[in-house]
Structures are given as structure tokens and as C-alpha cells.
Amino acid sequence: MSKIINITIDDQNVEAFEGETVLEAALRNGFEIPNLCHNKRVSHTAACRLCIVNIEGRPGGIPSCTTPVVEGMKVSAFTPELEKIRRTIIDLALSNHKDDCISCTKDGDCELQDLAFRYNLGEKERRFPPIWEELHKTSDFSNHVLDYDASKCIQCNRCIKACGEIQGKGILTFVNRGIRTSIGTGYEEWKDSKCDGCGECAQICPVGAITVKPVYSQMKRIRAKDIQRVVQTTCPYCGVGCQLNIATRKSFHNTNEGRETILQVEGADAEPNRGSTCVKGRFGLDFVSRPDRLQMPMIRKDGKLVEVGWPEAILFTARRLGEIRETHGSEAIAGLSSARCTNEDNYVFQKFMRAVIGTPNIDHCARLCHASTVAGLATTLGSGAMTNSIEELERAEVILVTGSNTTETHPVISTFIKRAVIKNKAKLIVVDPREIDLCRYATLWLRQRNGTDIAWLNGMFNAILENGWENKEFIAKHTENFEATREVMKKYDPQTVENLTGIPAEQLIQAAKLYATAKTASIIYAMGITQHAHGTDNVKAVSNLALVTGQIGRESTGVNPLRGQNNVQGACDMGCLPNAFPGYQSVTDPAINARFAKAWKHPRLPAKVGYTVTEIMNAAHEGKLKALYIMGENPMISDPDLNHVKESIKHLDFLIVQDIFLTETAQMADVVLPATSFAEKTGTYTNTERRVLPLRKVLDAPGEARDDWQIIQSLAQAFGHSCRYDSTDDIMREINLLVPQYAGITPERLAAGETLQWPCPNAQHPGTKFLHKDGNFTRGKGLFSAVDHMPAKEQPDKEYPFVLNTGRILYHYHTASMTRRTQSLPMYVNEAYMEMCKEDCDALGVKNGEKVRVSSRRGTIDIAVRQTDIIRAGSVFIPFHFAEAAANYLTSSVVDPIAKIPELKVCAVKIEKI
């Protein structure tokens, strides 16, 4: 609690808090001192001078926005002289401002307009002639999603500070001089800059200078008064779980007559994003209103998918599944759940597969991204989740980022990292084979060879021990298996590691010292660590670093895997795994199995571990698996070795796909069931920091699309199962009873606005900000792992001389079934490409933009080359989003023996000029 400071404002006693400015204290206590440049999310500017006050004992007008309160301070805020000065300042601002309010999109939501009204500054009352026409020459409308009208700019500096201080990008600045001073990027046009369209500047602009293009509105231009309703809900994209304010109104345009549509989206001032969002969250939600949304069930008849009613679709699907179960047994059926669906959807899906169908074969796309995290961290720490909270990153002294291009895959989390560096002078260590954006902020960038992560992690461990930087007390009290691990680490001296990884020995030692000797150091990693045939050991090696230094169990420390999709954490929590019931409770434990059987009123549940994603495809190819039910996944783009996947799906007798679009996988289905999108349903997602976030209904569903859990419930009832939920609240109450981590995350608390982090064992518990507090690990003691470097399974050779790495980019998501159906995002990137360095381009005689043929031992694609200096010679990078040149035709289905995750980060390819 901050110390209370007593001051007076206009002879009234006011309580202020130590560290507050006079303006902050005044506004909080109801004194509406006018201001334009002030915003609580950025530092104080004192640019507009409207907030000047008189302070006893100090000469002249004092800007209250930059003046801290002191005990006994006497402030005069509204003297006639101050009000006269303010009126003049506003008059001058209006002369510099094109006040076409009746046609401005900010009409009714403009802070300058409000002040002009407050001070009665109509056209006749102004003293200064308009000079905005000169400013208008510097306007810029070239950006894909933003407009800058310089004639309305008041040079308040908010946008510049938002870009630099909130987003950590520093793209916007003042350009020109005198009356032509305006906002720019330093490039001739805004579109040529590194602006990625996050829109933070537009959200913070107090006037109509920076505005968003009408990417949603069929009215073309919208004002605040056009908005009929605003709903706060959770973003459907990455694992950050940004809270969004989605504005809607009823549309009377063409086929959407009388149906609500989205008008605009802003970041909500709530955890975890605190008002920010990325270009996808702000401008990439119009896919929900696409005309090609699935609206009716379809059944394949005479080789073609034809629309049918729900009764026919449900009865046909239940009959076919029943026939296959009767003929081939329940284990001939499998289900793929979805990290894009809610906790409630996923819970009901796995319950249906286990209790109604009777199969152990349940998995989802976490198998392809973070299965090695679940396996590795559960072994070493006792819990396979992010140990700390997103907001803690901003206060860490050292942050080590590896295997994560955070700026592109988790943009809002990257802002916390950047602010830690820019604002709090944190040291950033980036370990990545590509020169990613975060390298610009890094104290050290270690460039390892693909697939050598265990070697450099062990090398850091070795350097820590050799220099006495380990936390001896923590190791003795809170860990086990240290001595055996120490023995293995002896051979990973910095020079040996340099030979294996390419990381200079001196840099490795520097990184080890920075990380080990910091008061608080946090590790962030993602799929660059996990998607390997030794991914589980990679994760264990990461865990070793935290354990040897004691950088865990405290704020701003820990091991923090960033989950890729919006609910990949929740889908794991809900038991959409072949070896675990909800809450990571083992299916092979008789007591646990009996508990779920009793709760689900089913005499016998599968008590064996089922097939994983890759095993499901192999079993289908071999004829062991006859039917597959896919909810919200698109394995025809996302899975490795797509030629094998395609043949495997063709071998199935029956394929059900439940989705919002006719995806590449749905096109192969025997039954397609139309589901609601995130905007049309209620429920919860669990983000990467274990925070359970509400999903609130924004729009009505198109056609006859239904919530995923409702479709599954109808199927269960068609089998004669007594499954009856009336709402997602009913499902969450059942989760509360059966999942210990979620016991206290009740519908009532969620409805009251609480966003709690598990574990939350009861309804009074506040949730858990960080795990393993004070070295009290979930498994008892932290386990050191004596892991050894293993090369990738597939190495480049004379025939296939290049190493292929795959991943995601900012402007698209997963298999792009949503993002490529938006208006704005394809403007940035709309076709597949392969990154290649100039040296390799020159050797092949290939120019930027030309197409090449890329082949592996499994497949071939034709793709355009993007020449770049961020990638090293002998390596190439392909985003996996694009169906027409899907990277996964090339990737290997070799898997980690423990987590069964495929090695998507390393495979050998050859490249030929076409």
C-alpha cells in the first residue's frame, strides 16, 4: 500500500498516494483538470500544457502531469487566469486542427471536441485563423490498416510513446519542423516502415489523427455513436489470451440483414494484455462473417458432400460409428480434439470418446507443439506448464529466450520483454539460429546450429559449475540427482560446445554468467525447443538451468513455455491426451479410472494409453483404425509428412470433421458438422500462463451452426447416453468436481470478472501466480536430468544439402483457415515463401521472388524465395500456413520416443531452380 500524502486542491483536502503526480491525484479525486497528452499507459509528456496549475511557493504555471505530490502541497487548479490560458491553448490547437466533426470518425469520441465544447469554442468564438491545410500535406494513408490525417494531429506525443513505451517498437516519431511538424516513420510512406499494424497508436490517439481503416464495417466509416454493443471476450488466436472489446451493431446489408456484425476491436484494459493486442487480434476477426462459413451439416452422397438437416446428420454419424465399433471394436475409432475450442468443448469431447465410444484414442495438436513440454517438465518439476506469469517478465533482470520468435508468434508477450529491456534495463539473451526481431534488443545473441540445443544448454550448465555460479543451497535443499548430472556435464566444456553448436565459447560463458548471477532470471521457450526427436530431453536441459541456479519458484524467474494456440493449455488440462484424464490424472491408475467411471455413470472406461496424433495416422494407414472424429483441427496442413497423412485418411472407412469452414481436411470427410466460432459461443480458454479466461457470446451463429459441446452431446444422446448439459456453466461445475487444479475456478467467480490461474483448489483460493514457490516442487524435489546431446535424426548430405526449419509468422495462424479469410491480414502476406540467405541464392542463381522446387525424402513443393540476411548459409525457413506450398509435405514424421512429438524443426532438403 502506497503512503498517503495530504494535499489541498482549490482549498479542499485531498488524499494522494506517494509517487502520484498532481494530475493523477486530482483526477482520482474528481477534479477534472483538462489534458490531452496525458494517458496512464505512457510516461508523462507535458506537451499540451492544458493541465498547468499554480502551486504555492512555486512561480508560474506548473504542469500537473509531471509534478509529483508532496506532503502539504497547496494546489490551485481552476483560477480565472488558468482557465483563460487553457481556453487560449485549446483555441490554438483548434487552429491547427481540421475540425470537420460532422464527417469525422471520432465525432462524439474526440477529446479535443469535448474540450472545445467545455470551453465554448465554436467557430465564431475563436481568435486564431486555421492553418491545418499546410499540415494536411504530410498525411499518410498508405498503411494497410491505419490512416494518419496530419490535419487533425495535435502533436500530443501519445502515439509515439505508445509505439515506443508500450509496444517497444519505436517506429513512430516527429518529423518536419515548425507548423509542419507531424507524425512519421522516417520512411517516405508509412507502409514502407517496419510498422506491423498492431494499432496501439490508433487506440491511444485522443483525436481523429490516427484511425483504423474500416476493415469490419460495411458502413465503410464508423463513429462511436454507431456502436450498439461492446462485449469483452478472449482473442481466438495465440496462447496469450488477450482480452478484447468487440464493438457490434445490427447490419442491414445484403445477406446479413438484421444480424449483428463486428464494427471494431480494441484491446481491453485487463490481464493478461493490459489494453494491447496485435494485428491479428485487432484486424483479423472478420473471418466469422465470411459467406463460406459452414451453416448446415453435410453428408457425402454419391461422392459429393450435400447439405442435410441435423437429425439426419446426427443419426447417420451415430449409426456409422456404432457399426464400426460393433464390427471392429471401440479401439478402431479415434478422436482429435482441438486447441482452438473451449475447455468445455474439449472436456465433453474426451468424455464422449472415452465413456460413449469406449476408445482410449484421444489426442490433439499439443502433440505437435508442446507434448515434450508436458512430458519433460512433469518429470523434472511435477507440472508441465508455464511456471510464472506474463506480467512478471517485465521485472526480470535477465530473460533468456530460445526457440521462440516471440515478436511474431506471441506479439503481446514480446512487448513485456521489450519493456523489460527498454524501461527496466534487463539483459536479454536470445539463442536462435535465425536473427529474429528480439535480437535487436539483446545483450547477447547466440546463434546455434539447428538441433544442437542440448549441447549449448549443457555448456551453460558446465560454465556455471566451473565458475562457481551455481546456487549450492538451493541444489542441496530442493533438488535431486545433481551428482549424476554433474558427471555428464563435465564433457560439455565451452570449446567442445562451440565445435558442436557454432556458438563462440566466450559468448556461452557470458550468457551463463548473466543468467546465473542475476537476482531474477526467466527462461522463455517455444517450439524451437520442443519440436525435435529429442524434444523431451531439450526441455529437461532447460529445466536443469533453472534448477542449478535456483532461478525458479520466485517472481520473474522460472521455466516458461509459450503455448502456441489459444487453448492448447486448456485442451491438455481437460484430458485430451491418450494417457490422461482431465487434470493429468493417469488413465492407467485403477482408483482414478474408477472415480471418473463413477462420475460419468459408466461401468468401465478404457484403462490403457491410446494412440497419439502420429500413431493415429499410422494406424489408419495400416488399417487398424477405421473411423476418425476430428473437432476443429486441420491435419491436412498441420501434420508432418502430408503425403502419408493424405493416404492415411483415404484408408479410413469413416471420417467426421467438425469445423467452421470446409478446410482441406473437411473436404475429405464423410460427414461435416458446422460449429460456432469463438464469437458465437460461451465458455473458457486457459492461456499460456494457466489463466482461465472467459469467452462471451458476441454474435449469433450463422445458419444452423451449433456449439461444439452441443453437437457432441447430441451424438452421445443418439447412442442412448444420459448426457445432459444446459449450459457451459454446467460443464464447468463438473470440471470443478473432477479436476483438482480447477476446483475453485467456478462459473460464479468467472461471471464476477475473476480470471484465475490454476492451481486453484477451492472457491476461496486466489489462484496461483507462479508455481513451485520457495522450491516446493509439485513432485517434491526438482529433478536434475543427465541428458546428452543427440544430433537430429535427419542430417543434410550431398543429395539433400540444406536444413529446413518451419514455423509461424505474425500475420497468419496455424493452418490459416481463419487468417486467410480476413480482409487485412493477406495484404501483408498472402502466399507461401522460403527464406534463404544471399550467399545461397547466388550459388543457385536465384533472385528474390523467383520460385524454386524444394524436395525432401517425403515430398516436393514449389515456392517463392525471399532473400534475407536473418538466416545462415545452408539453412532455409518456410512458414507452414500455406496449403498451396505446405511445408509439411517436406517434414519428417520421426518422433521423440517419450512425447511422440515429430521433428518439425530439422529435416534435409534439396533446392532446384525452376
Spatial distance between the Cα atoms of 726 and 675, rounded to a whole number of angstroms: 17
pLDDT in tens, 57-79: 999 999 999 999 999 999 999 99
Spatial contact of 641 and 857, defined as CB atoms under 8 Å apart: no
CATH code (residue 398): 3.40.228.10
Is 218's pLDDT higher than 80? no
78 shares its domain with 164: no
Q: Report the candidate in 210, 170, 205, 694 with the shortest Cα–Cα distance to residue 415.
A: 170
- Secondary structure of residue 369 in the 3-state scheme: coil
CATH code (residue 50): 3.10.20.740
Is 903's pLDDT higher than 90? yes
Phi–psi pair at 238, nearest 5 degrees: -75, -175
- Which one is predicted more confidently, 344 or 249? 344
| Position 256 confidence tier, pLDDT thresholds 50, 70, 90 | low
Q: Is residue 367 part of a domain?
A: no
pLDDT in tens, 18-68: 999 999 999 999 999 999 999 999 999 999 999 999 999 999 999 999 999
Spatial distance between the Cα atoms of 762 and 412, rounded to a whole number of angstroms: 31
Q: Is residue 541 part of a domain?
A: yes
User: Would you give the end-to-end CA distance of the chain in angstroms?
Assistant: 67
Q: How far is CA 877 from the centre of its chain?
A: 21
Spatial distance between the Cα atoms of 536 and 314, rounded to a whole number of angstroms: 40
Q: Is residue 83 part of a domain?
A: yes
CA dist list (Å): 112 to 44, 601, 876: 18, 64, 51
111 shares its domain with 198: no
184 shares its domain with 236: yes
- Consecutive H or E run containing 712: helix 708-718
Task: Examine the fold and report which residue of 125, 140, 174 is the final residue of a domain before the chain moves on.
Answer: 125
How high is the pLDDT of residue 722? 84
How high is the pLDDT of residue 723? 84
Domain count, the chain: 4
Spatial contact of 251 and 260, defined as CB atoms under 8 Å apart: yes
Is 498's pLDDT higher than 90? yes
415 shares its domain with 493: yes
CATH code (residue 880): 2.40.40.20
534 shares its domain with 493: yes
99 shares its domain with 170: no
Spatial distance between the Cα atoms of 887 and 805, rounded to a whole number of angstroms: 9
Place of cell 479466461: 693
Spatial distance between the Cα atoms of 463 and 914, rounded to a whole number of angstroms: 48
How high is the pLDDT of residue 221? 79
145 shares its domain with 104: no
pLDDT in tens, 769-805: 999 999 999 999 999 999 999 999 999 999 999 999 9
104 shares its domain with 138: no
Spatial distance between the Cα atoms of 426 and 409, rounded to a whole number of angstroms: 22
Q: Is residue 645 part of a domain?
A: no
Global pTM reads 0.96
Domain that holds residue 266: 132-289
Task: Examine the fold and report which residue of 511, 543, 561 is the final residue of a domain before the chain moves on.
Answer: 561
Q: Is residue 190 part of a domain?
A: yes
Q: Is residue 867 part of a domain?
A: yes
384-407 average pLDDT score = 97
Residues 6+ apart with CB under 8 A from 104: 110, 152, 208, 223
CATH code (residue 240): 3.30.70.20
Please provide the average confidence, as pLDDT, over all residues in the chain: 95
pLDDT in tens, 257-272: 567 899 999 999 999 9
Q: Is residue 200 part of a domain?
A: yes
Spatial contact of 814 and 660, defined as CB atoms under 8 Å apart: no
279 shares its domain with 230: yes
113 shares its domain with 162: no
How high is the pLDDT of residue 260? 87
How high is the pLDDT of residue 219? 57
Q: Is residue 876 part of a domain?
A: yes
392 shares its domain with 445: yes
| Position 1 confidence tier, pLDDT thresholds 50, 70, 90 | low
Task: Examine the fold and report which residue of 101, 125, 149 is the final residue of a domain before the chain moves on.
Answer: 125
Spatial distance between the Cα atoms of 268 and 426, rounded to a whole number of angstroms: 27
Spatial distance between the Cα atoms of 736 and 738, rounded to a whole number of angstroms: 6
% pLDDT > 90, the chain: 92
How high is the pLDDT of residue 258? 65
Neighbours of 290 (CB within 10 A): 15
CA atoms within 13 A on the CB side of 734: 23
105 shares its domain with 140: no
